[in-house]
A and B are shown apart, each in its own frame.
Chain A
Amino acid sequence: MTESILLQAIIYLAAGVIFVPLAKRLGLGSVLGYLLAGLVIGPAGLGLVGEEGGDIMHIAEFGVVIMLFLVGLELEPDLLWKMRTAILGLGGLQVVLTTLAVAGLAFLLGVPIQPAFAIGMILAMSSTAIVLQTLNEKDLMPSVAGQSTFAVLLFQDIAVIPILAILPLLATYPLPGDAAGAHEHSLLEGLPAWARMLAVLGAVAFVVVLGRYGMRPVFRVIARTGLREVFIASALLLVGGVAYLMELVGLSPALGAFVAGVVLANSEYKHELESDIDPFRGLLLGLFFIAVGASVNVGLIVSQPGLVAGLVLGSMALKALILAGLGKRFKLSTDQNLIFALALSQVGEFAFVLLSFCTQNGILEASMAGLLTAVVALSMALTPLVFLINERLLLPRIGTRSHPDRDTDTIEEKNPVLVVGFGRFGNIVGRFLRASGVGTTVLDFDSDRVDILRRIGLKVYYGDASRYDLLASAGAADAKLIIIALDTPEKSLALVETVRRHFPQLKILVRAYDRDDAYEFMDAGIEHVYRETLDSSLRMGVDAMRLLGTRAYHAERSARLFRRHDEAALAELAAVRTDRKQYFSTARRRIRELEQLISSDETDRWLREVEEGWDAETLRNEMNQMATSPTPPPPTP
């Protein structure tokens, strides 16, 4: 193997670039793609990366750190406080029960009691990286399952601190000499317990104070330089520095980053930090997953397939069962509970950290740690598959997918207009109609939004409008119009189909995001298609012209002309858009025409207003001729 880091990087990146799109194509999700890429380039596959994988793993773990920093940024302290029951109740019980159950089973299987407890705590962890990434990709974060999952992950991340504190007490084996690994930097070795505790508290306090009072002026100065890369560097430095500090005192670096994130959640630099660091998160997490894939000890798995498979499936089943029991106790509906339990059933990346800590501190034998590492990696690799199975096989049998646990509202009003989707577009239309005295029934299936809208006094109903029964109870049979402002054209088209089939009398007005959306709706034969950005962009254009000194009425007329022309062009282009060549030639012609219309003095519609209505050239000519001719002039206007 080569020593060149560049070559290593190229191998990793190439593997990612090849496998992730493939996995996406196959509907497997990016995480599985990365893991596969790791397996292929790892020692078990092509062997392109070998022992060096460990180093990369170390760098890649930084991805997890950044992810938790970003998670922290998203969380305002109030939100944390609001979630305290879920975090402490759900998360706490999960960690305690799983630890006890796993430890009990391990003990029954002949593992001595102390290592059995260590194994219990290790297996209680789930993968923050995989689960959050997957939930985000599937848009499940706002659901009840997503929130519960998040609460448990949060508790686990926090629980790593006491676990790291407890583990040394479980040491039974002699230390394997000078331990090499993540914790070789720890300054606290050999210090008494109270000193360690003080150091840990001091470090956390330092991060909080730094975040709250120290970083703001620093960011301000850096932001003032206007150098974006310096800002990015300082953000990475902050995260890296905090992670390193945490590692020094033996805490989880990810947790430190998380705390730093929470502290900065209220700062004015929140969004800049987010957008600057986000690309690194994606890339490094990808690396992390590849490294996990590469580190799977295939030899071990092949030599003891039954044992490994049993441990993987057994631990996942056990975790899922405990989680499902808790979910039920915390009143999650069946489908939400299924997502929740299966999402967290794998063992997470913290287990790697804990395992290496355990071998270094003589808590677990190396062979046991190796076996468990394989189990952890495999269970992580299986997670996307578990999601897939849940989504394709289990959920369709149990209930509607990704539905927050909440009953559909019953609707008593009968109004002429239904507004479906009360997001940034629908809410303007809906409020306008309501303010104008037009009776509207609003439907939305973002339960958070429904609650917020209700709190500010708007009448909004919760429910999935693509369901016939909800449409019927919303009064679709008596309504005249339905305004569809859903997020995606797929959802909108599905709703259009339902409406057409069951309520043909409803006139359909649909919001399109852009041209491509509009084409799809026009293909579906909808007459009233509204591109959401058309009017506001033109308004901006008009204002720009006015700021440049154009007279207001002229600017307005130009915008009207453009709009009319653009709508006509849209219809024409929709018809030819499958033929790329014709599409582009038509588009070019349309643009040329429009420019000519606006700039030329030919007889187009609004220029006609100016040229003939209020300033007729022909009239002037005729008058001039009259003046020079001997006959008396006719009456003039």
Chain B
Amino acid sequence: MSSILIQFAHPALEKSRVNQVMLRAIRDLPFVTINDLYEEYPDFDIDIDREQQLLLAHDYILLHHPMYWYSTPAMLKQWEDLTLEHGWAYGRQGVALTGKKLMNVMTIGGQREAYNEAGYNRYTVRQFLAPLEQTARLCKMTYLPPFAVHGTHRITEAGIQQAARQYRNLLIQLDAGLIDIPTVLDLPCINDIIPTDELTVNPAPQS
């Protein structure tokens, strides 16, 4: 009954304060499959068949990674390069991923304010993610706004716990179909509509 695939890519998870907590918060969810790419392919020798099977078996593909140089870690790019084959993921016969949802889950060092036209980084997070958004489109997938945990250099323990709880809630709500996809498509990030207090698994739909 797994509907969410977490494509997790972090070359130094043992040093990451935030991502460890986030992963721990979602590990027990029965509908989630965590695919730790650096753990699976330390030599970057990606098993294309396995990866494609995983994609086929899930509805939501979440690329969970730290933002490195305004982009993904190298492994995730390698994974895209090899797994999203012509004739399978895109092209005239490439319909394997049609209708699936793609989303970025990211930890970002800079504060949210730094990511806008007037800010230090001059572009919004979504602008930086344009290549992935277009990849999703080319693969006939729906691209959802990112879940972004900002300011990880200075985040407090409480902040981390809150982000982890929110992440867990996001997955629960996605799985339960509680997020109305068409209305969220243009949000700068999805964080704003996810509750931060504890949710139980499979809560009753809100009226």
Contacts and interface: CB of A to CB of B under 8 A. Distances in A.
B138 A622 contact: no
B47, B81, B135 interface centre (most CB from chain A within 10 Å) = B81
A194 interface: no
Given A608-B48, A608-B82, A622-B92, A637 B87 contact: no
Interface stretch (A213-221, A313-321, A611-619): A611-619
B86 interface: yes
A616 B85 contact: yes
Given A608-B48, A635-B137, A616 B82 contact: no
A183 interface: no
Interface in B35-77: 43, 45-48
A606 B81 CA distance: 13
Interface in B77-96: 81-82, 85-87, 90-92
A560 B87 contact: no
B86 A616 contact: yes
A619 B86 contact: yes
B90 A612 contact: no
A635 B138 contact: yes
Contacts of B82: 608-609, 612-613
Contacts of B48: 605, 608-609, 613
Interface string A601-637: 0000110110011101011001000000000001111
Nearest to A637: B138
B135 A637 contact: yes
A605 B85 CA distance: 13
Interface size class of A (residues with CB under 8 A): 10 to 19
B95 to A, nearest CB: 12
Contacts, number: 42
A613 B48 CA distance: 10
A557 B135 CA distance: 27
A461 B162 CA distance: 50
A578 to B, nearest CB: 33
Contacts of B91: 618-619, 622
Interface in A544-573: 557, 560
A296 to B, nearest CB: 67
A49 to B, nearest CB: 66
Contacts of B138: 635-637
A551 to B, nearest CB: 15
B169 to A, nearest CB: 34
A636 B47 CA distance: 25
A622 B47 CA distance: 26
Contacts of A560: 43, 45
A618 B82 CA distance: 15
B86 A612 contact: yes
A102 B117 CA distance: 107
A613 B45 contact: no
Nearest to B92: A622
B86 A557 contact: no
A632 B82 CA distance: 27
Nearest to B46: A609
Contacts of B43: 560
Nearest to A623: B91
A515 B46 CA distance: 27
Interface string A23-44: 0000000000000000000000
A613 B81 contact: yes
A558 B40 CA distance: 19
Nearest to A606: B45
A339 B45 CA distance: 56
Contacts of A606: 45
B87 A616 contact: yes
A612 B94 CA distance: 13
A618 B134 CA distance: 21
Nearest to A625: B92
Contacts of B85: 608, 612-613, 616
Contacts of B90: 637
Nearest to B47: A605
Nearest to B45: A560
A560, A609, A634 interface centre (most CB from chain B within 10 Å) = A609
B87 A618 contact: yes
B137 A614 contact: no
A220 B86 CA distance: 66
B86 A622 contact: yes
A624 to B, nearest CB: 12
Nearest to B83: A613
Interface string A585-609: 0000000000000000000011011
A99 B144 CA distance: 99
A616 to B, nearest CB: 4
Contacts of A557: 45
Interface in B7-53: 43, 45-48
Contacts of A612: 82, 85-87
Nearest to A617: B86
Nearest to A616: B86
A557 B82 CA distance: 14
B166 to A, nearest CB: 33
Contacts of A619: 86-87, 91
B74 to A, nearest CB: 13
A616 B92 CA distance: 13
Contacts of B47: 605
Nearest to A619: B86
Nearest to B90: A637
Contacts of B134: 635
Nearest to A556: B43
Contacts of A609: 46, 48, 81-82
Contacts of B92: 622, 634
B139 to A, nearest CB: 10
A634 B94 CA distance: 12
A109 B114 CA distance: 111
Contacts of B86: 612, 616, 618-619, 622
A140 to B, nearest CB: 45
A533 B138 CA distance: 46
B43, B82, B135 interface centre (most CB from chain A within 10 Å) = B82
A622 B135 CA distance: 18
A22 B182 CA distance: 88
A356 to B, nearest CB: 71
A597 to B, nearest CB: 14
Contacts of B137: 635
Nearest to A614: B81
A622 to B, nearest CB: 6
The 9 A-B pairs at the shortest CB distance, nearest first, are namely A616-B86, A613-B82, A619-B86, A612-B85, A618-B87, A613-B81, A618-B86, A560-B45, A609-B82
Interface of B: 43, 45-48, 81-82, 85-87, 90-92, 134-135, 137-138
5 contacts: A609-B46, A609-B81, A612-B85, A619-B86, A622-B92
Given A612-B82, A613-B48, 20 more contacts: A605-B47, A605-B48, A608-B85, A609-B46, A609-B81, A609-B82, A612-B85, A612-B86, A612-B87, A613-B85, A614-B81, A616-B85, A619-B86, A619-B87, A622-B86, A634-B92, A635-B134, A635-B138, A636-B138, A637-B90
